[in-house]
Amino acid sequence: MLIPSIDLKDGAVVQLVQGERLAVRDDDVFRWVRRFERFPKVQVIDLDAAMGRDDNLPLVRQIAAAISCRVGGGIRTVERAREVLDAGAQQVIVGSSLFRDGRADLEFARRLRDAVGLERIIGAVDSRGGKVVVHGWKTPVELTAVEAVSALEPFCGEFLYTHVDTEGLMRGTDIRAILAVRDATARRVTAAGGITTMQEIDELDAAGVDAVVGMAIYTGALRLDGPQPPASSP
């Protein structure tokens, strides 16, 4: 299944290369909300909240009222997870806060699961150079993605695996790395990071893995339903 991504920064939809360089910005957020409303799942990431620079919660609330979405970015506490779910998110995507002192923070993961329910938690496991990375993909953790999902499986109803090495580069993703994560857990796995073509999406779908796509959609490289002008570059 293809899951479109809406990344929010300063009230606009953006796409970043490797999580840093701005490649696409569109102030018309609801142009994309309308375009994605036929999809059963849409991923919304609040980059401002993730970076600790305020948040886009009022905008998230409007988006969640219009489409079924999973929301991540800056969910560091049980209280914040509840706030995002109360805003209308179907599930919360939790990443950096699931790791502490170089390993999986099972105590926090357990508290979060007990508070909001296993099925509402998507554990975000991001990998760069073969190791999990946190804090905006800047801090490495001495765990592989396979080790991380194995440890966190009792506390997450699903996993989002991002292959950071290929994120935003429009050169394809690493199918083998994604399948290794899939094979390490009984939970549903969604993959992200450089997925560019329908061939990749179909290959992942055949393997039981959902695909989050952002840059390829916004640049017009991947057409969803006929002619659509790409979002403007900054």
User: How many CA within 13 A on the CB side of residue 231?
Assistant: 28
CB atoms within 10 A of CB 119: 12
Q: Which residues are catalytic?
A: 7, 126
Are the CB atoms for 121 and 160 separated by under 8 Å?
Answer: no
Q: Alpha-carbon distance 216 to 4, whole Å?
A: 10
Beta bridge partners of 134: 139
Q: Alpha-carbon distance 124 to 13, whole Å?
A: 21
The helix (run of H) or strand (run of E) holding residue 211 is strand 209-213
Are the CB atoms for 70 and 90 separated by under 8 Å?
Answer: yes
- Cα dihedral 191/209/188/175 (nearest 10): -50
CB atoms within 10 A of CB 101: 8
Q: Alpha-carbon distance 10 to 139, whole Å?
A: 24
